[in-house]
Structure formats: structure tokens, C-alpha cells
A and B are shown apart, each in its own frame.
Chain A
Amino acid sequence: MSEAIQPDVTIDSRGATCPGPLMDLIGKVKKADPGTVFELQTTDSSSKNDVPEWLEKAGHELLDTVEHQEEGYWSIYIEKTE
């Protein structure tokens, strides 16, 4: 599925310590128009839980999560809704 997703914005948070991947994502989502698709690249495994939890609270859509095992990171695809 993910191969079909073409993100409008890619956020590279790999190796991020402070303030972290979810914070990077929120900052970008705030400024984007509805319909914008993001790819959040993260090496922080807790993002797999944190990001969906925030998306549910804020009402945006989780499109897919893809693990890049060899490179050691995840791509989380998100769409900003209205």
C-alpha cells in the first residue's frame, strides 16, 4: 500500500532526540492545508504508538506505517483532515 502513497511533505526525524518526531510532525501539520499527506521518518519505536494516539485525538488520518528494517527506521504516513 505504502508504495502508492506519495507524500507531499517528508519529515526526516531519524535520530531525533529533542523535541522528537511527534513534535516535528505536529509543527508541520499545524501549518499545512487539509489534504496534505506527510511521511514521518522516525527511528524512535515509540512513534508507532505516540503518533496514532495524537492523530486520533486531533482527528487526522493514519494512512500506513512501513518498517524499513535494513535502514532501521519507520515511515508513518499521515493525512491532515479538515
Chain B
Amino acid sequence: MTERIVIVGGGTGGTVLANRLTDDLAAEIDAGEVEVTLINDTPEQTYKPTFLYVAFGKKELSEARRPITDLIDTDRVNFLVDRVTGLDTEGKRLSLAGGGGLAYDQLVLATGANLAPEEVPGLVEGGHHFYGPEGAEELRDALAEFEEGHLVLSVIGVPHMCPAAPVEFVLMADAWFRERGLREDVEITYTYPIQRAHGIQSVADWATDLFEERDINLETFFNAEEIDPEEGVIHTLEGEAFDYDLLVGIPPHAGSDLVTEAGLGEEGWVSVDRNTLEATEAEGVYAIGDVADVPTSKAGSVAHYEAGTVADRIASRVHGQVPTSTFDGKTICFIESGMDEATFVSFGYGDEPVVREPSKLLHWGKLAYNESYWLTARGLI
């Protein structure tokens, strides 16, 4: 009997997993003993870290996209462009928007995170962001025209993708406005929900020193509750009213309705064992990437390493072995600290990372990785 493995979501996690499975199970797939299906609602994958550079006019959206069929072994993976509309974990069956259904033996949810700016009144009208393709282009146009006033970056949604990106944005904005001779006319403020500049203490300490050095204001315990676009005011949960001229608001994120409706977790995030990535509420279901509710960053590196763990576990089961591979929370983030320097951090569950001295080399490293990312998606690095 054929073992049917279905992956929902063709982002970093989904494509890395598909490639790892076709490597590990090539013989079984070729013998018809295993079938791997990848479903995505678009034919292309988008590499989201590109958006930060789009906002500053340094990259184009076209550089962020590749056809998924270029990233996977289409001889061994059935690739479907469709949307999953229902999940029956008892009957082990998916319903598809295009009609019909799909049965699975092992299911991996890699559906990512969705933006939900509408959860904050006034944010859609009053705020910009660089967390989606259209948002990044609109922000690019707004920044290009912004020559004086108060630029506020407010981290509103928690949790949100790529926790380092807001810090990167203000450091890059500082350098970008300096380069253009406008910095004296542009005040920059960064706001964060908790008592420090970032969730990770060492990153917070590092960013706080840099902000001071570069004349970037820091507001902490700042949780935007409502935006007044007419007046240019952010009203916070803590009772403050804060003026802005250009607001970059990191929007609230939402998981997948599919997850909530299937009873797999709260607010659309899949409840999983943080080491095995197996769903706690259903058998034969895993989650990787942003949709998995694990206590580390929603970042591509996490999806990448989680995909490796899940591939190993699925392959072990197919081979009749007891799966032993686990995910230890490994996360790696490059962090831009201007337009031509960067640092990076790496950590696992419970670790406090060390922030290295920023350098041009690491900036080039980040840019080089962004280019070679497609090799990661293809399972090569």
C-alpha cells in the first residue's frame, strides 16, 4: 500500500521538506511505495526577506519570486496549485477549493502566517509595512516622497515574522536618509511592546546602544491599539497618544482558519510538540514554519531546520524505524545594521544569543545568502 505524504504550503518549509523527502525516499517513491504531494495556492514561491530591500528601492519584487516547479523534483513530487479548504484529521482527508479531496497518511502543514492589519482600527488606512509585496512597494513610494517629519516604526503585531526586521528597518532608514542628506529633517522613532527594544535581551541591548548612537528614539511598553490617520496619532493600550507623519506598523499576524477549524490549535497556529513538531491534537499531522506554535522566531531559518527534522521523522516511519530526529529550536538571523553593515545571531530553545560586531563582510554575507536562498529552497544548502 502506498504511503501518502501531503505537504500544504510551498514556502521555505514546504519546498525544503519536499526536497528532503525526495532525497531520503527516492527509491520508495520510484517504486510507488511512497507518494509525495505539495499543495500551494499560487504557482510561485515568494522569498519574503526581499521586501525589506524593496522598501528602500534596492530590490524589485520580481527578484523575490520563483516558480515552485523550478525548486522541486517534479518527477517525484506531485505539485498542485490549489487551496485547502477543509481538513478532517479523523478521516485523514483534505478538501480542495478546486473540487474534490485528497487523502493522506502523513500530513505536514506549512501554511505560514497571514497579515491581519484590519485587527487594529485605522492601521490599514494610516500605516505602511514591508511584510507583504504590495505593502513593500507602497512603502517604497511613500519613503521616496518623505523628506521631512516624524517616521515611526511601531511593532504592533505579536508574534510577527522575522523579529529582527523592524530593528533592521530603522537602522537602514537612518543610513538611507543620511546618504540622501535628509536625516536632520527626519526624526525616527522605534516602538516595541515590551520593556526593551527586542524580545531577546542581547539583541535589545545591542539595538538600544546603536539607536542612541544614531539618534533613533526608542519607546518601550508601547502597544498600538488604534490609529487615527486623519490626525496622525497612534493611541496605545497603555493610554498614550503619539504623533507620526509616516507610520510603518508591523501588522498583527494570523495563522490559518483551516487550523482552528480542524481543532489543531488556537488562533490558527498549530499546537505541536516543540521537539518532534508533531501536532498535539491529531495523529499523523506535523507543522513547520510560521504556522507551528513553537517558542522561537517565525523565521525562514526555523522553517528550514524544522523541515529537516520532519523529513527525518517521516523517512524513519516509512522505513519502519522509530523516529529519533528532533528540533532544538535552532534559529539563525542576519541583521542589517545600516545600508552596508550587518551582524547575525544564532540560538536554540532557551539560549541567549551573542550579537557579533557588525561588519561589511556580514552585510555582503546576508546579500549573498539572499541570492543563494533558492539553493536552500531546492534542498541543496
Query: A residues engaging B (CB < 8 A)?
Result: 13-20, 22-24, 26-27, 30-31, 43, 46, 50, 53-54, 57-59
Q: Which residues of A contact B157 (CB under 8 A)?
A: 27
A-B contact pairs, 17 of them (CB 8 A): A13-B295, A14-B295, A17-B329, A17-B348, A18-B331, A20-B199, A22-B193, A24-B158, A26-B194, A27-B157, A30-B223, A30-B225, A43-B350, A50-B195, A54-B195, A58-B223, A58-B239
B223 touches A17 (CB 8 A): no
B159 touches A50 (CB 8 A): no
A17 touches B194 (CB 8 A): no
Give min CB distance, A20 to chain B, whole Å: 4
Give min CB distance, A38 to chain B, whole Å: 13
- Given contacts A17-B295, A18-B297, A19-B199, whether A58 and B238 have CB atoms under 8 Å apart is yes
Decide yes or no whether B163 CB sits under 8 A from chain A: yes
Q: Which residues of B contact A18 (CB under 8 A)?
A: 163, 199-200, 295-297, 331, 347
- Given contacts A13-B295, A16-B295, A17-B329, whether A58 and B350 have CB atoms under 8 Å apart is no
Q: Which residues of B contact A27 (CB under 8 A)?
A: 157-159
A58 to B237, CA, bound (A): 6
Give min CB distance, A43 to chain B, whole Å: 7
Q: Which residues of A contact B352 (CB under 8 A)?
A: 17
A53 touches B158 (CB 8 A): no
Query: B residues engaging A (CB < 8 A)?
Result: 119, 157-159, 163, 193-195, 198-201, 221, 223, 225, 237-239, 267, 274, 295-297, 329, 331, 347-352
Give min CB distance, B295 to chain A, whole Å: 4
Q: Which residues of A contact B200 (CB under 8 A)?
A: 17-20
Give min CB distance, A39 to chain B, whole Å: 14
Smallest Cβ-Cβ distance to B159: which chain A residue = A19
Q: Which residues of A contact B351 (CB under 8 A)?
A: 17
Smallest Cβ-Cβ distance to B157: which chain A residue = A27
Q: Which of A22, A23, A43 has the largest count of B CB atoms less than 10 A from its CB? A: A23
Q: Which residues of B contact A17 (CB under 8 A)?
A: 200, 295-296, 329, 331, 347-352
A30 touches B237 (CB 8 A): yes
- Given contacts A26-B193, A58-B238, A59-B239, whether A19 and B163 have CB atoms under 8 Å apart is yes
A50 touches B238 (CB 8 A): no
Give min CB distance, A56 to chain B, whole Å: 10
A15 touches B295 (CB 8 A): yes
B199 touches A23 (CB 8 A): yes
A16 to B294, CA, bound (A): 8
Which A-B residue pairs are the 10 nearest by beta carbons? A19-B199, A16-B295, A27-B158, A20-B199, A22-B194, A23-B158, A18-B199, A18-B297, A57-B221, A57-B238
Smallest Cβ-Cβ distance to B156: which chain A residue = A30
Smallest Cβ-Cβ distance to B350: which chain A residue = A15
Smallest Cβ-Cβ distance to B302: which chain A residue = A18
Give min CB distance, B165 to chain A, whole Å: 13
Smallest Cβ-Cβ distance to A9: which chain B residue = B266
Give min CB distance, A80 to chain B, whole Å: 10
A26 touches B295 (CB 8 A): no
Q: Which residues of A contact B297 (CB under 8 A)?
A: 18-19
Q: Which residues of A contact B198 (CB under 8 A)?
A: 19
Q: Which residues of A contact B199 (CB under 8 A)?
A: 18-20, 23
- Given contacts A18-B331, A57-B238, A58-B223, whether A23 and B194 have CB atoms under 8 Å apart is yes
Beyond A26-B158, A26-B194, A59-B238, 7 additional pairs, beta carbon < 8 A: A16-B296, A19-B163, A19-B198, A30-B225, A31-B119, A57-B238, A58-B238
Q: Which of B159, B194, B297, B331 has the largest count of A CB atoms less than 10 A from its CB? A: B194
A41 to B200, CA, bound (A): 18
B349 touches A50 (CB 8 A): no
A19 to B199, CA, bound (A): 4
